[in-house]
A and B are shown apart, each in its own frame.
Chain A
Amino acid sequence: MNLVTVSGPPSSGKTAVILKTIDALKKQNLKIGVVKFDCLYTDDDELYKKAGIKVKKGLSGALCPDHYFVSNIEEVTQWGLDEGFDILISESAGLCNRCSPYIKDIKAICVIDNLSGINTPKKIGPMLKSADIVIITKGDIVSQAEREVFAARVNMVNPAAIIMHINGLTGQGSFELSTLLYDETVQTNSLKGMKLRFPMPAALCSYCLGETRIGESYQMGNVRKMDFEEK
């Protein structure tokens, strides 16, 4: 089985792109499953089901969804193998702009949209910087110039990536992406021992653990204070 991790800011078009790409993959008679990670709520699983795609969802609740992702991805992989998928695609929303679910030697795709503003690429961090393929969506609602400027900015933070434009509504470009996803020679049977591409920062402070009271005496663990001296 091939595992493909897809990540990107909320509403950037991840589900739309995955659905259209699966359409193209199905024509090659490949068996595909999806796992969706989110925080509090998602109805993406319904969209996948409606398209006849096997899907599992995981909600991380109060935890960072990417931390939750790493803690569960091995089990998810075993599920995918049991189901006999050729390709298992994970979709996760990047929320903290600091974590990314990418694993070394596992294909990593970042989906980002043209509407998010030209300074977004530099704000996103590892989720964009360490992806193998960057998909830019919503080109249909901006000008050619804006598309070129945006792509140039993406290229600047991740020059090594393949950058592709996909229209999530019409699927234009998704066939092309589908040709890059499946590699017969790759067989992922377990992720045990594999490594994340980028360390996830520890975010454990007393508030992570449910503290609600405000004030220094309630703050424990990894606490950082703003610097008011800085000019």
Chain B
Amino acid sequence: MENIHSFKIKELLNKYPFLDSFFKNNTLKISGKEHLTLRQVFAEFDEDTLEDMGVEPQLFIQQITEFITQMNTFLGKDENKVKSVTILPGNDKSGNIEGFDKLVIKQGEIISIVGPTGSGKSRLLADIEWVAQEDTPTKRKILINNDIPDKKWRFSSSDKLVAQLSQNMNFVMDLTVYEFVELHAESRLVENKDNVIKRIIEKANDLAGESFEPDTPITSLSGGQSRALMIADTAILSKSPIILIDEIENAGIDRKRALSLLLSEDKVVLMATHDPILALMGDRRIVIKNGGIHKVIETTDQEREILSTLEEMDRTILAYRTKLRSGEIITKI
């Protein structure tokens, strides 16, 4: 790849199909010039035209080489197998060492994180995302697969360790559901795109109360539908092995199903929450106090029974909400 400028554009595109969008995004006009080499293409433009296009040949060659390397690594590698994430103790805000030896979170586990405002829940999530190596205010250390993590987890844009389901569920793009998922699928270079897109829309419809069509504009989805689409899309298309959730609201989606969809895709789920139902849906919960991990509690059998009761109560409350919304008068509990 040293002599990338001596390949014909045609040959480059054949060898690396993903370069098509690279050329488009870098505003180098190559149509009609496929029979030329990059060097010849540059020579065709005078300096002013290149300046106009914002193209600087030397930088361009550097960037295209880097891009090819990245994409080849990305395509060549099998799945990002993250089987476990280990947290080694740091200190709380007063400098006291956290009271646990090590905390191992395994693929397929749901961990909830609870604690008062300002206690350090977000910091813990950020430590994981940054794969902290005793270089954050908490001095925690994060291991992946019980080993010192690869640097790529910090800086690669295609290999993020963590995907985050945002609290906010607005879409800003002006696209249909299908186009939107397609765009995402293309950026992840997935094979058999159409199947994947179909599956995502199906799963999203499973999660949402009211169904929507592939040609519905994303901006006209309801809150529940948007959230359902986001969760299905993240579960299936995002390569990140860890999913962080900041409160899945009740907004018209089946939370239990949402979590099981994420788990069926081999994710680790970490969920900061104030909602007792969500907190108890975790296999374990981390209690944060004064910046430190105060306790790690395994959800007990008794708690699971209580969870069922809480869910029953939740459904009752929802039923009342529906009644009030439709104009009924409530006469008994």
B284 at the interface (CB under 8 A from A): no
Map CB proximity to B onto A131-143 as digits: 1 under 8 Å, 0 otherwise: 0000000011111
Report whether A143 and B230 are in contact in the complex, using a CB–CB cutoff of 8 Å: yes
- For A, the interface residue count at a CB cutoff of 8 angstroms equals 44
Report whether B233 and A152 are in contact in the complex, using a CB–CB cutoff of 8 Å: no
What is the distance, in angstroms, from A84's C-beta to the closest C-beta of chain B? 26
**Residues A149 and B183 in contact in the complex (CB < 8 Å), given A126-B54, A156-B67:** yes
**Residues A160 and B63 in contact in the complex (CB < 8 Å), given A144-B166, A155-B157, A155-B158:** yes
Report whether B166 and A141 are in contact in the complex, using a CB–CB cutoff of 8 Å: yes
Which one of A115, A140, A144, A153 has the highest number of Cβ atoms from chain B below 10 Å of its Cβ? A144
Report whether A175 and B126 are in contact in the complex, using a CB–CB cutoff of 8 Å: yes
For B62, the chain A residues whose CB sits under 8 A away are 160
Report whether B26 and A156 are in contact in the complex, using a CB–CB cutoff of 8 Å: yes
Report whether B171 and A146 are in contact in the complex, using a CB–CB cutoff of 8 Å: yes
Report whether A159 and B230 are in contact in the complex, using a CB–CB cutoff of 8 Å: no
In whole angstroms, how far apart are the Cα atoms of A146 and B26 in the complex? 20
Report whether B155 and A162 are in contact in the complex, using a CB–CB cutoff of 8 Å: yes
Question: Which residue of the partner chain, among B158, B163, B166, B181, contacts A142 with CB atoms under 8 Å?
Answer: B166
In whole angstroms, how far apart are the Cα atoms of A199 and B52 in the complex? 11
Interface of chain A residues 106 through 138 with chain B (CB within 8 A): 114-115, 117-118, 121-122, 125-126, 129-130
**Identity of the chain B residue whose Cβ is nearest the Cβ of A156 in the assembled complex:** B25
Report whether A143 and B54 are in contact in the complex, using a CB–CB cutoff of 8 Å: no
What is the distance, in angstroms, from A83's C-beta to the closest C-beta of chain B? 27
What is the distance, in angstroms, from B226's C-beta to the closest C-beta of chain A? 8
Map CB proximity to A onto B125-161 as digits: 1 under 8 Å, 0 otherwise: 0100010000111000000000000000011011000
Report whether B169 and A143 are in contact in the complex, using a CB–CB cutoff of 8 Å: yes
Instruction: Report B's interface with A, CB cutoff 8 A.
Output: 21-22, 24-27, 51, 54, 56, 59, 62-63, 66-67, 70, 122, 126, 130, 135-137, 154-155, 157-158, 163-173, 180-181, 183-184, 187-188, 226, 230, 233-234, 237-238
Instruction: Report A's interface with B, CB cutoff 8 A.
Output: 27, 98, 114-115, 117-118, 121-122, 125-126, 129-130, 139-149, 151-160, 162-163, 170, 172-173, 175-176, 179, 198-199, 201
13 contacts between A and B (CB under 8 A): A118-B183, A140-B167, A140-B168, A141-B168, A142-B171, A144-B164, A149-B184, A153-B25, A156-B21, A156-B26, A156-B67, A160-B63, A163-B155
